[in-house]
C-alpha cells in the first residue's frame, strides 16, 4: 500500500514538473491583510495580459472564499475531466484559463471545512493535473496572509518568477504588507512590487480626490523595504460593479485614472519579466 502511494507521489511530482516547465512566468499575488483587493488585482491583471495576446492561466488558491469565478463571470462553468484522468480548466476568453474550488461543483453556500494537508492536496492538483498547456503567465491568487496556501504554492512550484503584494494605504495594512515582503524574501521569491489599492476616491460629484484610507502607505512601505512600487489604483466604485457583474474592469475600454493605473502596472510587470535575469526563468 505504502509503495503504491509512494509511486503515485513520484508520478505526481513528474506531472507537476512537466506542467510547470511549460509556464514561463509564475506570479503569486499576496497580501498581509484580507479584503485589500488581491483577487481584483489578480483577475484584472490576468485579463489585461490575455488581451495583450499573452497566454494566461489563473489559479484561485482561496479554498474557503473562492471569488475568481464570480469576478470572471464563469461561476456556472465547471472544471471537467479528460479521458486521461486530467482536468480541463475553464476557458474564460481566448488566451485565458481559470481553475478554482468554486469550479469543482461544491455547493457555493456551504463552507468548506478542510485542514491544511487536504488544501495543499487540491492546490497541488491544480498545478500538476490541470491541462494548462503552454502558458506565458500563471497568476496565482491567494487567501489573505502568509499561511498554508501560499506556502504550499511556493513549495510546489520550484521557481516562482515573483510576488505582487497588494495593500491599502493605511498604516495597519502596510504594516501587514511587510510580512508578505518578508515571506517572499524567506522563500527566495523576487518581489515584483507593491500595489497600493483603494488609494483615494475620486468624488463622482465634484471630481476632487478624497483619501479614505490615507495615502502613499504602499509607496512608503516599498521605499522602506527596498522593493519596487508598481502603482496606486484609486477607489473606484466601477471595480465593485465590474467584479459583481463578472466582467473585469479592464475589459471596458475606459479612459479613467483607475484604468490608466492598471495599464501602468501591467507595463511594469512586463518590464520586470523581460529583464534578462527573468526572461528565461523557466529554462
Ligand atoms: N480599487 C477598488 N475600488 C473599489 N472597490 C474595490 C477596489 N479593489 C477592490 N474592490 C472591491 O473590494 C472588495 C474586496 O476586493 P477583493 O475581493 O479583490 O479583495 P481580496 O484581497 O481578494 O479579499 P480576500 O482577502 O477576502 O481574498 C470587492 O468587492 C472588490 O470589488
Ligand atoms: Mg480574494
Residue of minimum CA distance from atom 8 in ligand 1:
37
Q: What are the residues whose beta carbon lies below 5 Å from ligand 2 (ion)?
A: 38-39
Nearest atom within ligand 1 for CA of residue 40 = 18
- Do residues 25 and 161 touch, judged by C-beta distance below 8 A? yes
pLDDT category at 277 given cuts 50, 70, 90 is low
Q: How far apart are CA 61 and CA 66, in angstroms?
A: 7
pLDDT beyond 50 at 281: no
Adjacent-strand bridge partners of 140: 28, 59
pLDDT at 282: 41
Give the model confidence (pLDDT) of 225-253 as tens digits: 999 999 999 998 888 888 899 999 988 87
Fold of 11-275: Rossmann fold (3.40.50)
Q: Whose CA is nearest to atom 2 of ligand 1?
A: 235
* Residue 66 to residue 102: CA distance in whole angstroms: 6
Give exposure, 149-173, as e/b (b: 16+ Cβ within 10 Å): bbbbbbebbeebbbbbbbbbbbeeb
Q: Would the CB of 147 count as within 6 Å of ligand 1?
A: no
Write down the mean pLDDT value for the chain.
89
**What is the per-residue pLDDT across 119-143, written as a single tens digit (0 to 9) for each?**
899 999 999 999 999 999 999 999 9
Over range 267-271, report the average pLDDT: 95
Instruction: Map out the domains of the chain as residue ranges.
Output: 11-275
Residue nearest to atom 27 of ligand 1 (CA): 143
What is the pLDDT, as a whole number, of residue 171?
Answer: 74
pLDDT band at 279 (very low <50, low <70, confident <90, very high): low
Ligand 1 in reach of 169 Cβ (< 6 A): no
CB distance 39 to ligand 1 below 6 Å: yes
Q: Is 44 in the pocket of ligand 1 (CB under 6 A)?
A: no
Atom number of ligand 1 nearest to Cα 244: 31
116 lines ligand 1 (CB under 6 A): no
Amino acid at each position: 500500500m505504502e509503495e503504491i502511494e509512494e509511486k503515485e507521489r513520484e508520478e505526481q511530482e513528474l506531472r507537476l514538473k512537466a506542467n510547470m516547465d511549460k509556464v514561463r512566468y509564475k506570479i503569486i499575488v499576496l497580501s498581509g491583510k484580507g479584503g485589500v483587493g488581491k483577487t481584483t488585482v489578480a483577475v484584472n491583471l490576468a485579463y489585461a495580459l490575455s488581451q495583450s495576446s499573452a497566454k494566461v492561466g489563473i489559479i484561485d488558491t482561496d479554498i474557503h472564499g473562492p471569488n475568481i469565478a464570480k469576478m470572471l463571470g464563469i461561476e456556472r462553468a465547471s472544471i471537467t475531466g479528460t479521458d486521461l484522468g486530467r482536468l480541463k480548466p475553464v476557458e474564460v476568453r481566448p488566451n485565458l484559463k481559470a481553475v478554482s474550488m468554486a469550479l469543482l461543483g461544491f455547493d457555493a453556500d456551504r463552507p468548506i471545512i478542510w485542514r491544511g494537508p487536504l488544501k495543499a492536496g487540491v492546490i497541488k492538483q491544480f498545478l500538476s493535473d490541470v491541462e494548462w498547456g503552454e502558458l506565458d503567465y500563471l497568476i496565482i491568487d491567494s487567501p489573505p496572509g502568509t499561511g498554508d496556501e501560499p506556502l504550499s504554492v511556493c513549495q510546489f512550484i520550484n521557481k516562482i518568477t515573483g510576488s505582487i503584494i497588494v495593500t491599502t494605504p493605511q498604516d495597519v495594512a502596510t504594516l501587514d504588507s511587510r510580512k508578505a515582503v518578508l515571506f517572499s524574501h524567506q522563500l527566495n521569491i523576487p518581489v515584483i512590487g507593491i500595489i497600493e489599492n483603494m488609494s483615494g476616491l475620486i468624488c463622482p460629484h465634484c471630481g476632487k480626490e478624497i483619501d479614505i484610507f490615507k495615502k502613499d502607505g504602499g509607496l512608503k512601505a516599498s521605499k522602506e523595504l527596498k522593493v519596487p512600487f508598481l502603482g496606486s489604483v484609486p477607489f473606484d466604485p466601477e471595480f465593485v460593479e465590474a467584479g459583481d457583474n463578472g466582467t473585469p474592469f479592464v475589459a471596458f475600454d475606459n479612459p479613467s485614472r483607475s484604468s490608466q493605473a492598471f495599464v501602468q502596472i501591467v507595463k511594469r510587470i512586463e518590464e520586470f519579466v523581460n529583464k534578462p535575469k527573468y526572461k528565461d526563468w523557466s529554462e
